[in-house]
Amino acid sequence: MSRFSAKVTYGIMATVELARHDREIPLHAKAIATRQGIPYRFIEQILQGLKQAGIVRSLRGAQGGYTLAQDPRQITLAELVHSLDGTEATPATGNGSPAPTEPRGALNTILSGILEQVQEAEQTILRVISLQSLVEQQQKLESQRSLMYHI
């Protein structure tokens, strides 16, 4: 599986923080950045991308900030990745080099087909993982860690 870009990782972290917070009370970008350890210089750009995708809402003013626009059970990792990267990952089919000889061309075709299958499997997995499931997994890990410190 391909790794997530820093932008996608930070976007997932920001939305997890919003999902853990009361949806009726907006969170300031600075609070999200501080709580999740996201560099502040990136958070506004990331949140604007999520807002354009309809994943978060923003409210202006002193009491403003960001909230999720949807229930966290309805937001999938595939949706987050797509909204932050702009496109779904697709395998490269060419690099501008001259056409390969026939045997090599056949192998490239086979490998390209395999890469497409891998990427489709990746998308299938990302489509079934909701933001809410990430929140639950994070809470479980945090509770396990707190138990370990109290022993």
| Average pLDDT across the chain, whole number | 85
Which residues is 151 bridged to in the sheet?
Answer: none
Report the CATH number at residue 144. Answer: 1.10.10.10
Radius of gyration of the chain (CA): 20
105 lies in which domain range?
6-149
Lowest mean pLDDT of 24-28, 68-72, 144-148, name the range: 144-148
- Decide if 130 is inside a domain: yes
- Decide if 1 is inside a domain: no
Digit-coded pLDDT (tens) for 41-99 = 899 999 999 999 999 999 998 888 999 999 999 999 999 999 998 755 443 334 444 44
Number of domains in the chain: 1
Rounded mean pLDDT, 4-15: 94
Burial class of 55 by CB neighbour count within 10 A (0 to 12, 13 to 18, 19+): buried
Please give the pLDDT value at position 23.
82
